[in-house]
């Protein structure tokens, strides 16, 4: 049985402004490699011996960008589902589960993937997929756990328990905590039992729909109606707007995973990053002897541990440390690298 990749492309990438914008969020950018993040994500799941053609969920505004980037890369989707409005990941995954159930059957295993994450070691990723798919067939909802080595407040945390019975390489989940405060995150890192939630989930369509029904009664009927009353538009499927508006605005992590007894985790060291801040970009890019990571036309003097991205023109830094400098054709960002998670609030104000 092939695994059905479900690739979510709904993020706005606000923490990577000004390079990432509402009209062209980070999944469509080549930030650390030659290809965009969405293309790299799709390539990881294209082996037809393992994977069916992927199902995408994106908003209407970005539909042509998704289709164009896939076409230019020679990648062929199964379907591209269009959200009438953004209602977070629970709605997107519920609609995708109903679509997979209709298209492939209730026993089909879904591999839910964010479109905008970086994975440096695809071999370890694929090994983890193999382990997770076996657990998914057994009725578990599996997430990929990344060892927590710093108190990041923007991630979900998984407290792992004993080895899952009869499932090699899988642990039970004691608790799932979404985006804790800094004090709690620090304690989690110190225990050694906690993993970051990598945002990747494996589950059968049947298990997914059962979990949604348990977490939010009536949600499965909404998802099935959103699919049944959808409309084909060229290469896209427009989910029914009236049905979609009934979904709760909630993340899958919080709505389902925090209360589910079916949760399991596969620990994996696959060079993962959510590329969710300029500090994460700095960590992912090659650095010089002084810890500087530079893209574009950049000259540095007596400067250390900086990230400089000069999209247009020359950027010069003298005698500074720990800065993020991003220059595009219409604006410039200068920021302490250590507070890069705080950029979202500034971007909200600008909007």
Spatial CA neighbour of 19 closest among 308, 274, 306: 308
Residue 32 DSSP class: S
What's the pLDDT at 34?
87
What's the pLDDT at 307?
97
What's the pLDDT at 40?
97
pLDDT < 50: residue spans in the chain: none
What's the pLDDT at 211?
96
Rounded Cα distance between 289 and 196, Å, is 30
Rounded Cα distance between 290 and 85, Å, is 45
Against a cut of 0.85, is the pTM above it?
yes
What's the pLDDT at 76?
93
The secondary element (H helix, E strand) that includes residue 336 is strand 332-336
């Amino acid at each position: 049985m092939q695994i059905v990749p479900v690739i979510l492309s709904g993020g706005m990438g606000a923490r990577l402004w000004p390079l990432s914008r509402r009209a062209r969020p980070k999944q469509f950018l080549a930030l650390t490699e030659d290809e965009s993040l969405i293309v790299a994500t799709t390539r990881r799941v294209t082996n037809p011996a393992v994977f069916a053609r992927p199902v995408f969920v994106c908003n209407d505004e970005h539909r042509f960008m998704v289709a164009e980037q896939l076409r230019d890369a020679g990648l062929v989707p199964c379907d591209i589902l269009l959200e009438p409005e953004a209602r977070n990941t629970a709605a997107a995954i519920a609609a995708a589960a109903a679509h997979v159930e209709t298209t492939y059957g209730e026993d089909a295993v879904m591999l839910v993937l964010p479109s905008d994450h970086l994975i440096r070691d695809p071999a370890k990723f694929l090994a983890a997929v193999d382990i997770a798919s076996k657990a998914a067939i057994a009725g578990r909802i599996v997430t990929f756990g990344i060892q927590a080595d710093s108190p990041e407040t923007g991630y979900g945390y998984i407290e792992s328990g004993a080895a899952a019975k009869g499932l090699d390489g899988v642990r039970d989940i004691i608790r799932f905590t979404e985006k804790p405060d800094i004090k709690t995150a620090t304690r989690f890192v110190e225990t050694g039992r906690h993993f970051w939630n990598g945002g990747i989930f494996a589950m059968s369509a049947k298990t997914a729909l059962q979990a949604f029904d348990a977490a939010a009664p009536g949600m499965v009927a909404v998802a099935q109606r959103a699919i049944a009353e959808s409309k084909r538009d060229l290469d896209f499927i427009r989910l029914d707007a009236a049905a979609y508006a009934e979904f709760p605005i909630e993340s899958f992590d919080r709505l389902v995973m925090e209360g589910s007894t079916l949760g399991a985790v596969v620990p994996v060291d696959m060079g993962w990053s959510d590329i969710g801040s300029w500090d994460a970009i700095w960590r992912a890019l090659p650095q010089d002897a002084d810890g500087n990571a530079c893209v574009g036309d950049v000259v540095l003097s007596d400067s250390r541990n900086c990230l400089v991205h000069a999209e247009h023109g020359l950027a010069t830094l003298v005698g500074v440390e720990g800065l993020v400098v991003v220059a595009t054709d219409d604006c410039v960002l200068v920021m302490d690298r250590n507070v890069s998670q705080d950029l979202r609030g500034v971007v909200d104000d600008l909007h």
